[in-house]
Each structure stands twice: as structure tokens, then as C-alpha cells.
Amino acid sequence: MNSNLTRVQQRALCQELGEGVKLKLLFKASIHGFTGAAFHQRCDGRGPSISVGYNSSGYVFGGYTNVSFTQAGNYVSDPMAFLFTFKGDALLKYPTTNSTYALQMVSKTGPYFGEDFALMNRGTNVHSNPGNYYTFPAREMHGNDLQLIECEVYQVEENMELEKPWRPMVWLSDRRLELMDTVSSYKPLCSSVSKVRVLLMGPVGAGKSSFFNSINSVFKGHVTIQAMAGSSATSVTTQFRTYSVKAGREGKPLPIILCDTMGLEDSTGAGLDIDDITSILKGHMPNCYQFNASAPLHSETHGYRSSPELKDKIHCLVFVLDGCKISIMPDKLEAKLAAVRRKANLLGIPQLALVTKVDEACPIVKEDLTSVYKSPYIKDLLQEASARLGLPLSCVLPLKNYSEELELELPVDILVLSALQQILRFADTYFEELDDRLSNSEVK
């Protein structure tokens, strides 16, 4: 069963109930039936739960109880019970005003809160009668639209860590040094290319520039900012920029060039143009090119590379997605990402995805970043990113960039370096497949 609640809505409810909980979907009326019998069959005796109604006016509303549902026919006390609605992504809460009568255990209806509110009251109807044991403005809560198009009930569970990480990861200083050495000593498989060229691509504010800054910080030995990063609603990056990283203050440059671009936006005529993306992938675009959404790069533009060499082309494409916004990604933005993937596929460019802000997305990970591969929520998040991009799960990695920290932290470094190592491995794939294509063409 697929949840109708977005991840943002689920997170708001979980935060209201306290850290360390998750929601498990027990009942979905469109599948199991809009009847009290179907509801009680699947939801009785399951402990704390969230009941959610959806109407055709777009309202998402419901109630929470800390006690199990039954068919006993009596009132049940619950001082923790409350009703709620969403205004945008914000949760509006209406606590019980008389906890002694917080719940009614009615066998013929769905979830029944006091005498004030019930879902599936005779089929798809909503019973709404505020002022007895709950006080809520009906228009604010459900827009006075009392016909359900869906009803769901979620069991509230403790979001326990997995016993074993679903991906092995070593969180030691020696591992950090090993990864830094692997990156520093890397050499592209193609002798005509001295540095792998990597394009960072994603929505506005996802963390593309911050990823470069995090890599730079790891190899500088302290938190630093070179690429402009921020949380603006529009792209902070307005130019096509290529960045190199040095291994230490006086060290040699690393064998990688990171290409930063404007963020993708869902609206037409805003953000990075698809034609400009093609120019970047093929190596036509010069460094410091000023993006213009109304006029993409063309052959007459100053600095345009008409005959790019292999070293100018993109060898690996990295999608950067905000872990807190994947579930609310607009359809138009998802379509743009799919279009970029198709262009990269035609050019034989390998792709992977970085899901940033995993610490903000999951309380377990916020408390301990080394739990990132023990968090069921983060695994679900990466699986959703995998599905939306059409990439295998093995091509999706969690990431936390440096943002508020003043000093380096080992777990952050390990995730950043692990992502960088995987990028270099994917670049190797590009050169290997290029060599195969050239060999096949010579045979023909």
C-alpha cells in the first residue's frame, strides 16, 4: 500500500509525537472498504494510531489517539488525543478539551473522537460536530467538505534502528585517511585526460555548491567556503563554474574537476535550460559562462568550444537532491530530471545521486550520523529517490554537507569521501565503455 501522506506531512506528525517514532500504514479505505467493519478488522488492538481523511477539496485532516481501538461501544479516556489538519505543510493541532470522553468505540463507523468527529460515519461521510470534547473551526479543518475520497489509519511505532547496517561503513580515522589517499592518487583510465570532469545537477538549494565546499573542507583540513551556497528560493549559482580541489593548503590539485550550475526549477523559463545542460555534457560551455534562461548557449557565444576534446566533456553526472523535499518534488521538476537522464544516457555518461540533509530528515541520524545506514527511514528515502530518478538503489548515496559546523567531523568526512570515491569509480566506467565503443568501431 502506498501512503497518501507526503513525507513532509509524516515528519510533521512524527515530530509532534516525539522523536524516534514512525508511521506504519494499517488501513486504506480505497483498498479495504469504507466500512466500520473493515476498519476494526485491521486496526483494533494496535495501540497508538493516526487516522487521516482526504476530501476532494484537498484537505488532509484527522486525529491521533494513544489507546487502541475496540468495538466495545463505550467512551475511552485519552489525555493525549488530538485532532489535526494541514495548512500547507504546517500541522494545526486541536487537543481534546475533555479527555475522559476523548474516544468512542463505535463498531459501525471508522475512528470516532468523542462526539465531535468521525471518519467513515456511514460510508464515505465525515461526522463533524465541534464543541463537545474538541474545539476546532470546521472550515479550517476540512473546508466543510464532508465527503471522503480516502481514509487511512497508521500505527505509531518506535522507529528502532536496524540491528545491522544495510550498507557496511567504517567510521574510523584510518578509513578517512585511506579514502583521502584513494582520491588523491587516482588517475583516469584515459591517458589524454588528467582530471575527471563531474557535473553536479539538481533543484535549487539541494546542496550542489555545498558538496564542493565540503570536499574542499575535508582536504583543506578545516571548514571553508569557496563556492557560493545558500538557501535562496532561486539559484545562488548564476554562472557555470568549474572548481578544482587541492590536497592541503600547498598540496597538488586532486584529479577531479567539479562543475557547478544553476539549480533546476519546475516552472517554465526558470532555472537551468535543458539546452544548456546538453552543451555542458558535450563540453561546449566555457567556464564562468553567465546563464540566461531566455537565451541558452549557442555557437556564436564568446568562449564556445566548437570542437571540445575528451577532457572538456562530462565523465560523470551527479544528481543532488534535498532529502527533506524528495517526497514533494513537483511533477515538472521530476520530468526535467528525467529529460537530463535521457540526454546523459545517449552520451554514455554514468549517473548517480546524492541525497543531502539526511540529518535533518531523520531524528536518529541527527543524533548520530553513523546511524545513517541503520535508519529504516533513510533507506526508504533513498529508495524513493531511486524510483523518482529511475536509478538503481546502488547508485544513490546519503550525504551531509558542512553547513553550520566550524570544525571538521569524522562521520561527515567519511560520507563526503565515500561519495567522491564512488564518483571516481563511475568515471572509470565511462572511460571503459568509451574504449569499448572505439574498439568496436575500429573492428567494423
CA distances from residue 85 to 9, 58, 127, 138 in whole angstroms, order as listed: 10, 11, 15, 10
| Over residues 344-363, mean pLDDT | 92
pLDDT at 157 over 90: no
Measured at the CA of 154, the angle between CA 15 and CA 3, to 5 degrees, comes to 90
The model's pLDDT over 73-87, given as tens digits with 9 standing for 90+, comes to: 899 999 999 999 999
CA atoms within 13 A of residue 149's CA, in its CB half-sphere: 10
Q: What is the DSSP string of 312-332?
A: GS-SEEEEEEETTTGGG--HH
Q: Provide the pLDDT confidence category of residue 331 given band limits of 50, 70 and 90.
A: confident
Helices within 58-116 (DSSP H only): none
Q: Are 200 and 208 in contact, with CB atoms under 8 Å apart?
A: yes
In this structure, what is the dihedral angle of CA atoms 265, 268, 272, 273, given to the nearest 10 degrees? Answer: 150
Q: Provide the pLDDT confidence category of residue 234 given band limits of 50, 70 and 90.
A: very low
Distance separating alpha carbons of residues 247 and 252, to the nearest angstrom: 6
Q: Are 94 and 136 in contact, with CB atoms under 8 Å apart?
A: yes
pLDDT at 232 over 50: no
pLDDT at 233 over 60: no
The model's pLDDT over 13-34, given as tens digits with 9 standing for 90+, comes to: 988 987 668 889 999 999 999 9
The model's pLDDT over 60-109, given as tens digits with 9 standing for 90+, comes to: 999 999 999 999 889 999 999 999 999 988 999 999 999 999 999 998 99
- Going from N- to C-terminal start, the domains of the chain cover 7-158, 173-443
pTM above 0.85, yes or no: no
Evaluate whether the domain defined by 173-443 bears CATH number 3.20.20.100.
no
